[in-house]
Amino acid sequence: MPIIKFAVPKGSLEAATQEFLAKAMLRLRGAERTYRPVVDDRDIEVKILRPQEIPVFVAGGAYDIGITGVDWVRETGADVLQLLDLEYGYVKLVIAAPKNSPHKTLDQYIEEYARAGKPLKISTEYLNTAASYIASKPVYRKIYGDQQPMIITPWWRKGENNMVRVYLSFGATEAKPPEEADIIVDASATGITLEQNNLTPIETITESTATLVANKQSFNDPVKREKILDILTLLKGVVESGKKLHIFVNVHEENLEKLLTSLPALKSPTISQLSNKGWYAINTVIPKNEFLKILPTLRKLAQGLVVHEPNLILPLEEIMTTQGAQTGNDQSRKSI
């Protein structure tokens, strides 16, 4: 019997997630043929789901952990632990409008449509996020007070203000204006899709990346928690490996101390004496963004520089238990 049920995303996060998991030695086998791929670790059972669904199902206990977007944790308001920002799948959640529109800001849309007595129509998959953001605008509150925008789906309606309507989009949101919507709220990674549909971003609501979330009860279960921490360690190792370089360099003893004291990036290196008398090898891991800064010094004082991009750096000392775990609602970009 598996210990952990793990939900992974389909759609826009799918390819990047599978690549990320492969780097963490959790390669999904059969993902191209089934929604239930397997990993070599028999303690983990995997299911592929839409990222929109994952926060709700993890919060409800159907799955112990899952990978989804921060945007969907916020949209659903799911009561989950947000364990780690995985730092891929970056998107902006934007308000976009037709390029030829005379209105260039959300405030202008709200004011002008109210003045004309026309309902402002917004199409989006992010119903709650869009409605909450629009209702928070000072111009909206000045005109409509505490009335909430009307959220409209094929099955139900919520909200009192029929003059600002937020319609559920089932995809292809960028194609909705101008017939079905005046503006849209949508996730955009590059802006190319908006550009191709003659739309332009007029406001950014928030930003999002992929995140690892956990069910609170699962994380409090001693057996499940240990397995979750194992998985967290592997995933954090992938995140950290993308920020580091592993370097090997040979240096003569007359330059050894000078090299170490002049390069603060070389923290706690492994120093080994070579078979050639008077020569030492330095083996260390440095931040990737420090390499170009230290290269001139290495070039002058050392020889035989070898640089590797590590596949996995496991930060074992940083993986903690429940103390420090943050809920998705109030710590959306933090990790334990």
User: Which of the listed CATH numbers 3.40.50.300, 1.20.1260.10, 3.30.365.10, 3.40.190.10 matches domain 4-89+209-241+316-325?
Assistant: 3.40.190.10
Judge contact between 89 and 16, C-beta under 8 A.
Answer: yes
Task: Look over the chain and give the mean of its residue pLDDT values, rounded to a whole number.
Answer: 91
Mean pLDDT for the stretch of residues 186-210: 95
How much of the chain, in percent, has pLDDT values that exceed 90?
Answer: 74
Q: In the chain, what is the straight-line distance between the N-terminal and C-terminal CA atoms, in Å?
A: 28
Judge contact between 71 and 210, C-beta under 8 A.
Answer: no
Judge contact between 126 and 71, C-beta under 8 A.
Answer: yes
Closest CA to 215 of 325, 127, 105: 325
pLDDT band at residue 269 under the 50/70/90 scheme = confident
Mean pLDDT for the stretch of residues 261-285: 83
Residue-wise pLDDT tens digits, 19-32: 999 999 999 999 98
Distance CA 111, CA 66 (A): 41
Judge contact between 95 and 228, C-beta under 8 A.
Answer: no
pTM above 0.85, yes or no: yes
DSSP 169: P
CATH architecture of the domain with residue range 244-308: 2-Layer Sandwich (3.30)
Q: Say if residue 323's pLDDT is above 50.
A: no
Distance CA 139, CA 86 (A): 36
Give CATH for domain 92-208.
3.40.190.10
Distance CA 263, CA 259 (A): 6
How much of the chain, in percent, has pLDDT values that exceed 70?
Answer: 92
Distance CA 32, CA 49 (A): 13
Residue-wise pLDDT tens digits, 42-71: 999 999 999 999 999 999 999 999 999 999
Distance CA 131, CA 158 (A): 10
Judge contact between 237 and 316, C-beta under 8 A.
Answer: no
Fill in the amino acid letter for 310: P
What pLDDT is recorded for position 311? 81
- Give yes or no for a cis peptide into 178 (omega within 30° of 0): yes
Domains 92-208 and 244-308 share a fold: no
Q: Say if residue 91's pLDDT is above 70.
A: yes
Q: Say if residue 321's pLDDT is above 80.
A: no
| Domain range list for the chain | 4-89+209-241+316-325, 92-208, 244-308
What pLDDT is recorded for position 221? 96
Closest CA to 129 of 183, 93, 157: 93
pLDDT band at residue 113 under the 50/70/90 scheme = very high
